[in-house]
Amino acid sequence: MSRKPSAPHRVVALAYDQLCTFEFGCTVEVFALERPELGVDWYQFSVCAAEPGKIRAAGGITVEAPYTLRLFDHADTIIIPGWRGADVEVPEALIKKIRSAYQRGARFCTICSGVFVLAAAGILDGKRVTTHWRYAEKLAKHYPQIQVEQDALYIDEGQIITSAGSAAGLDMLLYLVRKDYGVKVANQVAQRLVIPPHREGGLAQFVPRPVAEDERGRLSKLLDELRREPARDYRLADLAERAAMSTRSLQRHFSELTGFSPYEWLLRERVACAKEMLESSQHSLQQISEMTGFGSEESFRRHFRRVTQTSPQAYRKQFSSPQNRVRSHAAH
């Protein structure tokens, strides 16, 4: 269910010496700006310092944080935008505040190396997490009790959400907006940021081999066509002909560009369309399965669960408005 808070949800970002400027900037951009055009009670954003003293950030700038760690006592969501090093000790005062806020029920989100801070506080034991692929092996070695998934963009474990490095943090932060306010508001924020509205957390962090520019251009046009009409019945030979490639070349270049086979990419695109319908429409599951190209409700349920790790009904219950849930239930 999309949460529309009666009082502004308080987001606190942690600032620390040797601050990761990009990750911190992403957090500020998403949560600190006023957004009257959304028509919702937007987040209340604040910054607190990890410890006394000057806060130097990457790029030769300094940051002044107006609050101390006491702000953790009142935060609903705490963002840790990186950390000054995977091997750098976390101050005991910060660890104590993290543990206290976690016990109180605050939500924690980390970007890139920020996951090492929560790991040091001991609140990640037994949980699935991710981080920048360069740090994944070190995180798993230092904290074997944590399940590190190095290929994910972000992972939601309920009270704790972790993301990979740099731009993956934006994906996670938009996911938070989507989770808190629904798809329409998240899409509006993404539009203002001039970035794609949603990338699944399970997508690979990077594709190891580049695709030639001419092939990228042909494939980009094909992807645009598929996005416009994802429900159509496509054959591999037809897709290859549209891209002016052999089927073998199409499969290879498609995988190099997207990380998926053409069929798997199209299936995930259909799931993404179905998620938007579950959030914002009153269509029945059968109607959604037909409108998104799954062919049958059984096929829709099976593929949706495989991609999202939840059922269509559970997803609708969590993310749609109460009115949509009542009407969709009546439609059955």
Q: What is the pTM of this model?
A: 0.70
What confidence tens digit (pLDDT) does each residue in 19-77 have? 999 999 999 999 999 999 999 999 999 999 999 999 999 999 999 999 999 999 999 99
On whether both 235 and 127 belong to a single domain, the answer is no
Percent over 70 (pLDDT), the chain: 89
Q: Is the pLDDT of residue 275 over 70?
A: yes
For 47-82, the DSSP string reads EEESSSS-EEETTTEEE---B-GGGGGG-SEEEEE-
Mean per-residue pLDDT, 242-265:
89
Report if residue 205 sits inside a domain.
no
pLDDT at 1: 37
pLDDT at 165: 86
Mean per-residue pLDDT, 86-113:
97
Mean per-residue pLDDT, 221-237:
90
Q: Is the pLDDT of residue 200 over 70?
A: no
How confident is residue 319, by pLDDT bands cut at 50, 70 and 90? confident
Q: What is the dihedral of CA 148, 153, 158, 161, to 10 degrees?
A: 80
Q: Is the pLDDT of residue 162 over 90?
A: yes
Q: Is the pLDDT of residue 231 over 80?
A: yes
pLDDT at 151: 83
pLDDT at 220: 82
Report if residue 203 sits inside a domain.
no
Mean per-residue pLDDT, 254-273:
88
H helix or E strand, kind and range, residue 261: none
The runs of H, that is alpha helices, within the chain are 21-31, 92-104, 115-121, 133-142, 168-181, 183-193, 213-228, 236-242, 247-258, 262-280, 285-291, 297-308, 312-319, 322-331
On whether both 188 and 46 belong to a single domain, the answer is yes
On whether both 254 and 296 belong to a single domain, the answer is no
Structural domain range at position 152: 10-193
Q: Is the pLDDT of residue 208 over 70?
A: no
Report if residue 221 sits inside a domain.
yes
On whether both 99 and 232 belong to a single domain, the answer is no
The most confident of 180-184, 187-191, 266-270, by mean pLDDT: 266-270
On whether both 245 and 100 belong to a single domain, the answer is no
pLDDT at 42: 96
pLDDT at 167: 87
Q: Is the pLDDT of residue 9 over 50?
A: yes
Q: For residue 48, how many other CB atoms are within 10 A of its CB?
A: 20
Mean per-residue pLDDT, 274-295:
93
* CATH code for position 322: 1.10.10.60
pLDDT at 304: 94
Q: How far is the C-alpha of 116 from the C-alpha of 97, rounded, in Å?
A: 15
How confident is residue 207, by pLDDT bands cut at 50, 70 and 90? very low
Between 145 and 193, the more confident residue is 145
Mean per-residue pLDDT, 200-222:
61
On whether both 239 and 311 belong to a single domain, the answer is no
Q: Is the pLDDT of residue 305 over 50?
A: yes
Structure tokens at 124: 């990640």
pLDDT at 221: 86
Lowest mean pLDDT among 150-159, 233-242, 250-259: 250-259
Task: Name the residue among 259, 180, 269 with its Cα closest to residue 224.
Answer: 269
Report if residue 304 sits inside a domain.
yes
On whether both 187 and 247 belong to a single domain, the answer is no
